[in-house]
Amino acid sequence: MAHSNITPEELESLKRPPLVWVDGMPTIGPFAANWDNVVKFQAREEDLLIATYPKSGTTWVSKIVDLIMNGGDMEKSQRGAIFELVPFLESAAPGITSGTEQLEKMDSPRVIKTHLQADVLPKSFWEKNCKMIYVARNAKDVAVSYYHFYRMAYGHPESGTWDEYLNTYMEGNVAFGSWAKHVKGWWETRKKHKLLYLLYEDMLEDPRREIRKVMKFMDKELPEEIVEKIHTNTSFQAMKDNPMANYSTFPYMDHSVSPFMRKGIRGDWKNQFTVAQNERFDEYYRREMSDTDLTFRM
């Protein structure tokens, strides 16, 4: 299990820790306490890393990868919650087995989740030439999803109002830092490393096509009916209804504030941004993304 029992009183006292900067990147307070173990983490050649900026489709692609590894066998894929099957490398908190501890005990092949910026990733992943899948999502929908996640996942600092949060996000003072730095850093990485760069919006547009891309990258051939099964079992509604995928068994979250599986759509930012906020954001976006050929569909 990824976490042991923790009393409601203990949980209460651990809520809303401030962010801590490690290697120039802001991270969740308690994660910093385990940072040495992250830096010296020993990747193995057969590891598959799933890297994302938060709220970009991590859980979705994790479930797809686990199903592909298990030939589409849904029963096998239900052997544990997604955060147990695909441990979160840098996670650490009282009452929870840290990601590094979980991974050390795990047999190969391991699938590993990280939100670290490319330049902060432990060097053993590069040395072992591990395969990596990166998923990026457009900056505006991420901002909205992340805001609601801050509200419901109390390992983060208080979100403040939406307007305050949006400013903090644009400043890069949220957990795992600047969205722009993250997506650009990993985009550059794909030029020199075995990295499959996926877009959340492409996954929404044609999930079967993206599942096939992941299969190819993993050197797995599966018949079309299995692709269909994987697609069905990883739809937003299927994952929302699945306690092994929807984080309902994870502590530190209050799904009554906002569910982890919230909307799963593109363009929800239009329901959240005011016209003025959108103008401010577009200016930020032009500034931050002027030096890259990476483009997004908002």
Q: Which residues bind ligand PPS (CB under 6 A)?
A: 52, 54-60, 141, 145, 148-149, 234-236, 239, 261-264, 268
Q: Between residues 128 and 248, which has the closer beta carbon with respect to ligand PPS?
A: 248
Q: How far apart, in whole angstroms, are the C-alpha atoms of residue 174 and residue 113?
A: 19
Least distance from ligand PPS to the Cβ atom of residue 65, Å = 13
Q: Between residues 55 and 131, which has the closer beta carbon with respect to ligand PPS?
A: 55
Least distance from ligand PPS to the Cβ atom of residue 74, Å = 14
Q: Own/partner pairs for 73-77, CB < 8 Å, 24+ apart?
A: 74/229, 74/233, 77/233, 77/244
Least distance from ligand PPS to the Cβ atom of residue 154, Å = 13
E-state strands within 164-295: 195-199
Least distance from ligand PPS to the Cβ atom of residue 234, Å = 5
Cα–Cα distances (Å) from 131 to 34, 125, 219, in that order, read 24, 9, 11
Sign of torsion over alpha carbons 219, 225, 230, 235: positive
The secondary structure of residue 153, as a DSSP letter, is B
Q: How far apart, in whole angstroms, are the C-alpha atoms of residue 287 and residue 270?
A: 21
Q: Is 115 a catalytic residue?
A: yes
Of 3, 115, 156, 193, which one is the catalytic site residue?
A: 115
Q: What is Dmax (Cα atoms) for the chain?
A: 51
The secondary structure of residue 80, as a DSSP letter, is S
Cα–Cα distances (Å) from 147 to 44, 54, 158, 159, 262, in that order, read 35, 11, 10, 7, 12
Catalytic residues: 115
